[in-house]
Amino acid sequence: MTQAANILIVEDDAHIRRLLRATVQRAGHRVAEAADARAALSLLDIEKPDVVLLDLGLPDRDGLELIGPIRARSTATLIVVSARDDSGEKVAALDLGADDYLTKPFDTEELLARIRTALRHQRAATGGERPSVIETGPIRIDLDHRRVARDGADVHLTPKEYAVLAQLARRPDRVISHTQLLKDVWGPAHEDRVEYLRIAVRGLRQKLEDDPARPRLIVNELAVGYRLSLRDEG
């Protein structure tokens, strides 16, 4: 089942642009293309994309500088696709409002999976209900009642563990940076205390993961942040 969406590809490298276009069209989506920042911003209003694939190395402007303007003018899911494998830039992109990040060379199936995830969350959001109960495998997270269960049995979490899990669960399948989680849960004064976060995540994994050493629910994005992964769950 393919849900056709409008995808805006912002990429100055013609070869990569062709690859992106072919991949996205193969999945049945409509494509618009921009080779620089200026074209991207003008196409944004015309094409009303559901998803923007954004390269950071653009000829006229740094792609990072485009994230704010795109966010201000569009509700599109913004996926950065960049060759810069620099965790500082990933964090900057996410904190500026990007939803996701793929490093080139990317796997085309992975790209399509990220787009499917984006569209699924958009459908849920426009359906009005922001899901307050998230179920994945044996885990059930009830955000309204602040309850977490595993195989039907309540799991006792510390307040910080719960707060971290709730932040991740409000934006499932998206990377949330360490800085953002620390700010949201511990407050802006503690945004550098990554060790607080590590301790909370370790606790969560011990309570929620089948194999805490090989987590599948709370996934690391190395040096960037964490993602609550609902993928691979039908």
Stretch that binds Ca ion, among 29-37, 57-65, 92-100, 210-218 (CB under 5 A): 57-65
Binding of residue 221 to Ca ion (CB under 5 A): no
Here's the x/- map for Ca ion, 60-79, by CB under 5 A: it reads as: --------------------
Q: Which is nearer to Ca ion, 34 or 228 (CB)?
A: 34
List 22, 48, 57, 223, residue binding Ca ion (CB under 5 A): 57
Q: Binding Ca ion by CB under 5 A: which of 33, 47, 50, 55?
A: 55
* 89 counts as binding Ca ion under rule CB under 5 A: no
Structure tokens at 224: 């960037």
Query: What is the x/- site pattern for Ca ion, positions 2-41, by CB under 5 A?
Result: ----------x-----------------------------
Element (H, E) at 120: helix 108-126
Q: What angle do CA 73, 94, 2 make, to 5 degrees?
A: 70
Contacts of 147-155 with CB under 8 Å at 24 or more apart are 148/208, 150/207, 150/208, 155/207, 155/208
When asked if residue 161 is in the footprint of Ca ion (CB under 5 A), the reply is no
Closest CA to 33 of 46, 17, 45: 17
Q: Measured at CB, which residue is nearest to Ca ion?
A: 57
- The nearer residue to Ca ion, 35 or 176, going by C-beta atoms, is 35
Which residues sit opposite 136 in a β-bridge? Answer: 139
Counting residues that bind Ca ion (by CB under 5 A) gives 3
Give whichever of 83 and 199 is closer to Ca ion, judged by the CB atom.
83
Supply the minimum distance, in Å, between the C-beta of residue 43 and Ca ion: 17
Which string of b and e fits 96-125 if b means at least 16 CB within 10 Å? bebbbbeeeebeeeebbebbbbbbebbeee
Q: How many CB atoms lie within 10 A of CB 180?
A: 17
What is the rounded radius of gyration, in angstroms, for the C-alpha atoms of the chain?
Answer: 18
The minimum distance between CB 12 and Ca ion, in angstroms, equals 5
Summarize as ranges the residues that interact with Ca ion (CB under 5 A). 12, 55, 57
